[in-house]
Amino acid sequence: MPEQIPLNDGSAIPRLGLGVWQVDPAITAQVVSWGIQTGYRLIDTAEGYQNEEGVGQAIRTAGVARSELFITSKLRNGAHQRDAALRAFDETMNKLGIEQIDLFLIHWPVPSQDKYVEAWKTLIELRQSGRIKSIGVSNFNRNHLERIIGETGVTPVVNQIELHPRFQQRDVREFHIKHDIRIESWSPLGSGRLLSDPALEKIAGKHRKSVAQTIIRWHLQEGLIVIPKSVHQDRIATNFDVFDFELDAEDLELIRGMDSSGGRTGANPATAAFLF
């Protein structure tokens, strides 16, 4: 069972979870069920993934108490206005079939439409009503974080951002530490592009682990929350088998040297304007 990381609102989140981005809705329930059977307790979905219903089905049939699970979803980009956000949240809860969600995030700031502060105020309202346990954001840059904190006095518990060995985001980590905002890594394996990297293969061989396991272990040792995704039962299991080894100082230094300013694989939060 992965240990939990404390959040700034008094809650705690598992350090290792299962992401379901790009998982076909038709197989999501099966994939999440495999994850829960393996030992994952953090499940990360989003309105934009269109597979919340499958996550909900897995929750109901998992044979694990709801209180043991930590469920995350995210507000879609086209629903930042208060009324739209409330409707979208109701849809999420209906699809998941739960009374309270553990963590709800704003998926992207979409600064061009300039409504993310209104969305944040709506999440605060929903948390105050007891429907959300913890609130956070995803893909927020420092200026976006400073603005919502400055205008509401409420600090997100988590910022879920793209982060992997080729895009380590070290320039923003100090700010997050200062404000006690936990970083959660999406695309933690670099969208699969790192799985054949020779340097990582060498480190993995030294520890008799896979490259994926080595990268996931790196995230954990960096103090990050990590949510690898797979639709294969065996890989879901091996991705979870990362608690019986430790990367040494030489390994960590080598991986630190892989960081690149051009390593981003996803959209840039400063300019991303897609709505869904």
By annotation, the residues acting in catalysis are: 49
Longest dimension (CA), the chain: 54
**Both tokens assigned to 88:** 């979208």
Nearest-10 crossing angle of helices 142-152, 170-178: 20
As a whole number of angstroms, the distance between CA 197 and CA 217 comes to 16
As a whole number of angstroms, the distance between CA 98 and CA 267 comes to 31
Question: How many Cβ atoms from other residues are within 10 Å of residue 116's Cβ?
Answer: 21
As a whole number of angstroms, the distance between CA 160 and CA 226 comes to 9
Say if CB 151 and CB 143 are below 8 A apart: no
Helix (H, G, I), strand (E, B) or coil at 33: helix
Q: Is 107 marked as a binding-site residue? A: yes
As a whole number of angstroms, the distance between CA 159 and CA 167 comes to 16
Q: Which residues are annotated as a binding site for substrate?
A: 107
Q: Which residues are annotated as a binding site?
A: 107
